[in-house]
Amino acid sequence: MEWIWGTWFLVAVLTVCWYRHKSVKNKIHERRGVPKGSSGWPLIGETLDFIACGYTSRPVSFMDKRKHLYGKVFKTHILGTPIIVSTDPDVNKVVLQNHGNAFIPAYPKSITELLGQNSILQTNGYLQKRVHALIGGFLRSPQFKARITKDIENSVKLTLACWKDMHVIHIQVEIQKITFEVLVKMLISIGPGGNLDNLKRDFEEFIKGLICIPIKLPGTRLYKSLKAKERLLKTVERIVKERKLSLEESDGKGTLNDALDVLLYDNGEPNEKQCLPMDFICGNIIEMMIPGEETVPTAMTLAVKFLSDSPVALKQLMEENLELKRQKAESGDEYGWTDYMSLSFTQNVISETLRLANIINAVWRKALKDVEIKGHLIPQGWCVLASFISVHMDEDNYEDPYEFNPWRWEKTVAAVNNTCFTPFGGGQRLCPGLELSRLEISIFLHHFVTTYCWIAEKDEIVSFPTVKMKRKLPVRVTPLSATAV
């Protein structure tokens, strides 16, 4: 019994010492201007409360509770990391824009372990700017826009045609088939068939480990995901080698058909003959598949969910899209990128869906030096979490923030100039595919609401570890009558 009491005594002493150390350290930080807050329990910090809030209908409650106690910028300890959280859009803007010289990306261990050193999230400086510019330029090209519009249309129409014979459709599952197929074709020009099916199966296993306990023993979630990534890398590496050989044989001449061509064809700055490393290209191709499996299909699914719960918004959306369909039928013209993007109310629905969904709810950065923003000191070496969800759901920024109200965007500042609307991030790491994402959602909504009416079954949004529908949003569809069109 003595050794038990001795152990408990030692634990008690260590705990007291830890709290005294924290107390002294906190007082020093407070004097220096470090935001107030709590470090929570030893080792685990406030992680349990953070995760618990993620499973509720209001995951932002973790941030709200501390914001009311300590202000819009506070410190905490989550996921094994002492961190400063910002729910202030102005502070977030500075953090996002000061990339490289003041802040660098810093994410939970499970993400960095799974994505690796060549991750887009981890890459900094010249290389990050170079890849961002290459992909962004390709996505903005008129040739790409015309081709991808047709590819998305074809994929959406084929999928919708299958729905008329199905009793119950799980929207989230069906949409993932569309988005993943379109994105993989855009990245490496692989169409439907065996290779695509294998890629999707391994990718689904890979992505499950992005948010998990960072233990990679056999049988653990992280271990399974790492094994799936090994298989993905082998598949993509084979495709990259074949494409590189083909480009060399053609002396690099020809059109850029996909993202892989763009990354392989680039020779760097003028007079510079430095090609991107093979492992870097393969890793980034895999990482760029994430929107096709997670973010874009989730946004589409939630748009259907919110419209199902808002008959007035659905009616106005349907009227706008039926009018475009009538115009195209009368003129005989094909749809173009601008046709979909000019649907003003549809774009408002998409903006409101992205605001409410908070699929990317925050970004993580690490301070390279002491940085002071609006009187808040972020010490060198500390992580800062710029919370997008807190800004999107703040009554100071949006009236009745928990209501789906696409009409608010008729008078809200445009997204590009709005520091309170950041579903695609910001600064130098602003998602280069943001317009493509909007296009894909627009095309899906257009053809869905002009082909079917539907009744959605009851379902709930789950926000942890990633945003998704609990039952994958089951709906029953009925073809619209010809007179409605």
Binding residues for heme: 431
| Sign of the dihedral through C-alpha 368, 385, 421, 374 | negative
For residue 192 the two structure tokens come to 């439907």
Q: What span, in angstroms and rounded, lies between the C-alpha atoms of 88 and 69?
A: 15
Tell me the Ramachandran region of residue 82: left when phi exceeds 0, alpha when psi lies from -120 to 50, beta otherwise.
beta
Q: In the block, which residue shows the tokens 């209001």?
A: 58
Helical H segments across 250-343, by residue range: 259-265, 278-287, 290-293, 295-308, 311-331, 337-341
Annotated binding site: 431
Q: What span, in angstroms and rounded, lies between the C-alpha atoms of 472 and 305?
A: 10
Closest CA to 416 of 408, 404, 425: 425
- Cβ atoms of 374 and 347 closer than 8 Å: no
Strands in 305-426 per DSSP E = 362-367, 371-373, 376-378, 383-387
Dihedral angle, C-alpha 286, 292, 298, 301, nearest 10 °: -160
Query: Angle between the 434-449 and 344-357 helix axes, to the nearest 10 degrees?
Result: 110
Spatial neighbors of 412 by CB under 8 A, at least 6 apart, are 351, 418, 421
Q: What span, in angstroms and rounded, lies between the C-alpha atoms of 182 and 300?
A: 14
Q: What span, in angstroms and rounded, lies between the C-alpha atoms of 485 and 341?
A: 21
SS3 313: helix
Residue 271: how many CB atoms within 10 A of its CB? Answer: 6
Would you list the DSSP string of 200-212? HHHHHHHHTTSSS
Q: What span, in angstroms and rounded, lies between the C-alpha atoms of 328 and 331?
A: 5
386 pairs with which residues across the strands? 86, 363
Q: What span, in angstroms and rounded, lies between the C-alpha atoms of 433 and 310?
A: 28
